[in-house]
Structure 1
Amino acid sequence: MKTIIEPFKIKSVEPIFITTVEERVQIIKDAFYNPFLIPAEKVLIDLLTDSGTSAMSSSQWAGMMIGDESYAGSPSFFRFENTVKDLTNMPFIIPTHQGRAAEKILFSVLGAKGKMVVSNTLFDTTRANVEASGAIGVDLLCPEGKLPNVPSDFKGNLDIEAFKSLIDKNGADNIAICILTVTNNSGGGQPVSMQNIIDVKNICKLNGISFFLDACRFAENCYFIKLREKKYADSSVEQIAKEMFSYADGCTMSAKKDAFANMGGFLALHNEDLSNKCKNLLILTEGFTTYGGLSGRDLEAIAIGLKEVLQEDYLKYRINSIEYLTNKLIKENIPVMQPAGGHAVYLDAKQFLSHIPIEQFPGQVLVTALFIEGGIRAVEIGSLMFGKYDSMNQLIPAQMELVRLAIPRRVYTQSHIDYVAEVIIEVYKKRDALKGLVITSEQPVLRHFTAKLAPVS
């Protein structure tokens, strides 16, 4: 069958409020050309993020009704803890209110001034927490991952030879931690192969470097491994996931992604001494060790979601849906990350808007155009998000200029996705008329969340 059917039925709905082009021109102007500043009810299709925007299942909602809100020793925590232990085989489980809180705690303990944190690609909040600890984030994405329009099976991989060279040049003692993001969000939602995970683990073990996973989209990554690594074709996604976690010393996770929860995350560890240090910081900043800034209701929802996401009918639908939109755009010769990633479609803004200089943020221009044309909210993953300034205050561009359309889980139907494709195609036809943007106000850290921009005069 060619038609993708959702492996679920819709039991509850919420309205989408339709706006006109003229209204959206004023809305984006009032938001200073920043999608983060647009009120949600003024968005038709919200693809800003897949984090915390999933539709929870009837089982999750039912589970929330038995959530126990005891400050200490809640049975909801122990159900959550047992689920995470079963999945990761890590004995020390620390709940946090979301993934970046787990990152903040981990890097506050392991990071230090001048130390390096190595990754395939650090996402924005991860890098910010690394740098807040005084450490330096180093991205070692494989060469094929830097070519958006060239298909390859595992473009999220870490560059093994570059990692070895970094160790030889700087010494293993200067590397605080290596963390692989699975799937690689900033690299186009591309998966990391099990072989790459094993290779990275072996290098870390040989050099005494802690090896962690950023596991917020672990199930999507494992499904790609099942599809693309022959050795795992007959393995279940759950079996693949358990093997993947077996190579890591620990992991961080935002449960707002592959656990379908609207809030929550965790830090899982093997090392008891590290766990105790992290728990001390958890109590100081998040809450007691058996709730960590979460309600019992959230802990129940996460425990159920971590099991639901391993259902292969769901993962097949999820991956095929992203591929469906990607293929529609490829047929129209629209520059898009290939092959399709796990949670989002990534437009190559640098090629899409080749007439706009990088310092005028073509990705942000494209984000703005998508909203005006069709009320679609997306996010720039390029030089607005990741760009730095040199000593002369000149922009150091990001590695790629992408626009991410992150698809919330179990929220939109195929007709919504068809509409998204139509809007992108229409913007592509009008692309030559689009002009650049300049920043009028920005913060020194994570500027893309609150920056104000204006059209180039």
Structure 2
Amino acid sequence: MDIKNYPAEPFRIKVVETVKMSTREERVKAMREAGYNTFLLNSEDVYIDLLTDSGTNAMSDKQWAGMMIGDEAYAGSKNFKHLDATVKELFGFKHMVPTHQGRGAENLLSQIAIKPGQYVPGNMYFTTTRYHQERNGGTFVDIIRDEAHDATLDVAFKGDIDLNKLQKLIDEQGADNIAYVCLAVTVNLAGGQPVSMKNMREVRELTAKHGIKVFYDATRCVENAFYIKEQEEGFADKSIKEIVQEMFSYADGCTMSGKKDCIVNIGGFLCMNDEQLFEEAKELVVVYEGMPSYGGMAGRDMEAMAIGLKESMQYEYIEHRVKQVRYLGEKLKEAGVPIVQPVGGHAVFLDARRFCPHLKQEDFPAQSLAANLFIESGVRSMERGIVSAGRDKNGNNHAPKLETVRLTIPRRVYTYRHMDLVADAVIELYKNKEQIKGLKFAYEPKQLRFFTARFEHK
């Protein structure tokens, strides 16, 4: 592993937060009290927090300065105007509706764009996205390329939509029965896998023939743009901004969680070109979020988001961000730890099936692996497998082919030395993987169970 391939941090650290160094006995007690669910741990008990990159970013000096000029007027905030202009400049859509975070945008889109009985094809599900789609009468259909479900395949752009699968769905169900195509850039549950510009263009061409709209889950679109620049022919000399603009030129709109690639702690938005959908979204945002000029966000948060979105387009920033994740992945790969390949843009995904071959999927191996990683090291991660997938309408567990633990790297928070410590902890646990025991539910909520479920050893 050549360290020269990994750029130094393109920033200086001005403020630090002291973290608690706990003992193994303290972590055993904390995990037991949390019901072996890393979401239920207290933050103060965590040493390195890789639960999520959502809202856990470190903001820049310019973003913090922007927070001080927050216009907290209930209507007509100048910060909304700044955010609105920034989003339109970078994404190119005609209309933007702010929301408190990404799932707020998912809620609005699902209500205004899905009729009961319609299908919503997409390149692999995401938990909250599928929930909103199904809650509004839609049926999610996975049309991602088959390679995305195989953790061992190291191929580029595993997030691509399989055009044959999409065409087959159109032929079988009819274009009128497809609400829209939901295209995620990047694909979280596939391991943070990007989508090629070629695929986006081809999806646009196919859907245009049938009058079907395409909405992106744009949460990590800047990371996706980096992969296009790095790996797709014809884009090496284009800026991240230019690539992002072309990406969105093939869509009718998008949902966005600003807590990721906008490098902030809260906020999101919904974009579209359709005038009627925009009017409907403005009506609903008042019901669920707030006025169309703040949508659940404070003025200061909108200002920080506008600044952060511009900062995310800087090549030095996104190169370091993606390659820091890659650094961790390569260290684990060299040690023989089974991970999802290739390494994605926001996280390294441990392949719990191969990590814990002594456990069946019904034993919740990824859930147990995440719990044991915290106990052994103080590193908090997240299950992304059968628990996250939930149950179908008949009450049966969805059993995804990928059973993973996500090591999610916050933006501008940790150093390469932190990644070394995480790698050492995972490698040591892998050497003693037989100690990882299966789990069962002690409490199972009906919806999005992975957030609040509690477990116990079988």
Question: What is the alpha-carbon distance in structure 1 between the residues aligned to residue 336 and residue 169 of structure 2?
Answer: 38
Letter in 1 for 2:456: A
Q: In the alignment, is residue 60 of structure 1 matched against residue 63 of structure 2?
A: yes
Whether 1:124 and 2:130 are equivalent positions in the alignment is no
- Counterpart for residue 180 of structure 1: 183
Structure 2 counterpart of 1:222: 225
Alignment of 1:6-405 (within 5 A): 6-388=9-391, 391=394, 394-405=396-407
8 A contact 2:150–2:401 mirrored in 1: no
What 5-or-longer segments of structure 2 have no aligned partner?
none
Alignment-derived partner of residue 408 in structure 2: 406
What's the offset of the Cα at 1:181? 0.7
> How many equivalent pairs are there?
455
**CA distance, structure 1, for counterparts of residue 175 and residue 417 of structure 2:** 51
Please report how far the alpha carbon of residue 319 of structure 1 lies from its aligned counterpart in structure 2 after TM superposition: 1.3
Q: Displacement, 1:285?
A: 1.1
Please give the per-residue CA displacement for 1:206-262, whole angstroms capped at 9, x wherever unaligned.
Answer: 111110111011110001000111111111111000000111100110000000111
The 3-state SS of whatever aligns with 2:333 is helix
Q: How far apart, CA to CA, are the structure 2 residues paired with 1:160 and 1:423?
A: 41
- CA shift, 1:406, in A, is 0.7
Structure 2 match to 1:437:
439
Structure 1: gaps of 5 or more residues:
none
Residue 416 (structure 1) aligns with: 418
Please give the per-residue CA displacement for 1:410-437, whole angstroms capped at 9, x wherever unaligned.
Answer: 0001111100000000110110121100
Paired amino acid for 1:150: L
Amino acid at match of 2:257: S
- The CA distance in 1 between the partners of 2:455 and 2:195, in whole Å, is 35
1:146 Cα deviation after fit: 1.2
Q: Does the Cα contact within 8 Å between 2:191 and 2:349 map onto a contact in 1? A: yes
**Alpha-carbon deviation of 1:395?**
3.2
Task: Give the alignment's TM-score, normalised by structure 1.
Answer: 0.98
TM-score (norm 2): 0.98
2:384 maps to amino acid: I
In 1, Cα distance between the equivalents of 2:75 and 2:83?
Answer: 14
Question: Distance between the aligned counterparts of 2:278 and 2:17, measured in 1?
Answer: 41
Q: CA deviation at 1:4?
A: 3.5
- The 8 Å contact of residues 349 and 404 in structure 2, kept in 1 or not, is answered as yes
Contact 2:381 2:407 in 1 (8 A): yes
**1:225 alignment partner, SS class:** helix
Q: 1:426 aligns with which of 418, 425, 428?
A: 428
CA shift at 1:439, angstroms?
0.8
8 Å contact 1:361–1:383 — kept in the other structure? yes
**CA distance in 1: counterparts of 2:393 and 2:306, whole angstroms:** 45
Counterpart CA distance in 1 for 2:217 and 2:424 is: 34
Matches of 1:449 and 1:418, distance apart in 2: 28
Report the Cα offset of residue 289 of structure 1: 0.8
CA distance in 1, matches of 2:404, 2:420: 21
1:450 corresponds in structure 2 to 452
3-state SS in 2 of match to 1:134: coil
How much does 1:399 deviate?
A: 2.8
Say if 1:182 and 1:221, in contact at 8 Å, map to a contact too.
Answer: yes
By how many angstroms is 1:286 displaced? 0.6
- Alpha-carbon distance in structure 2 between the residues aligned to 1:323 and 1:33: 28
**Deviation digits for residues 174-193 of structure 1 (CA, Å, limit 9, x no counterpart):** 11010111110011001000
The one-letter amino acid of 1:252's match is T
Question: Judging changes above 3 Å, is the alpha-carbon distance between structure 1 residues 234 and 3 closer, same or farther for their aligned structure 2 residues?
Answer: closer
Contact 1:390 1:396 in 2 (8 A): no
Q: Distance in 1 between matches of 2:284 and 2:5?
A: 51
Q: Give distance in 2, aligned partners of 1:151 and 1:401.
A: 17
The one-letter code of the counterpart of 1:346 is: F
In the TM superposition, structure 1's runs of 4+ consecutive aligned residues that sit over 2 Å from their partners are: 1-4, 387-391, 393-396
Partners of 1:123 and 1:110 in 2: CA distance: 18
Please report how far the alpha carbon of residue 149 of structure 1 lies from its aligned counterpart in structure 2 after TM superposition. 1.6
Whole-angstrom distance in 1 between the partners of 2:457 and 2:392: 21
Distance across 2 between alignment mates of 1:270 and 1:309? 24
CA RMSD of aligned residues (A): 1.1
How far is 1:387 from its partner?
Answer: 3.8
Cα gap change, 1:175/1:79 in structure 2, threshold over 3 Å: closer, same or farther?
Answer: same
Kindly state the Cα deviation for residue 389 of structure 1 after the two structures are TM-superposed. Answer: 5.1
Give the CA deviation at 1:390.
Answer: 7.5
The range that moved more, 50-59 or 128-137, is 128-137
Is the Cα–Cα contact under 8 Å of residues 322 and 341 in structure 1 kept in the other structure?
Answer: yes
In the alignment, the residues of structure 1 paired with residue 263 and residue 221 of structure 2 have an alpha-carbon distance, to the nearest angstrom, of 12
Amino acid at match of 1:426: E
Work out whether residues 370 and 424 of structure 1, in 8 Å CA contact, stay in contact via their aligned partners in 2. yes
Residues 157-206 of structure 1 deviation map (CA, whole Å, 9 limit, x = unaligned): 11111111111111111110101111100110010000111111111111
Cα distance in structure 1, aligned partners of 2:177 and 2:6: 52
- Cα deviation for residue 122 of structure 1 reads 2.2
Per-residue deviation, residues 7-40 of structure 1 (Å, max 9, x unmatched): 0000001111011111111110000000111011
Deviation at 1:2, TM superposition (A): 4.7
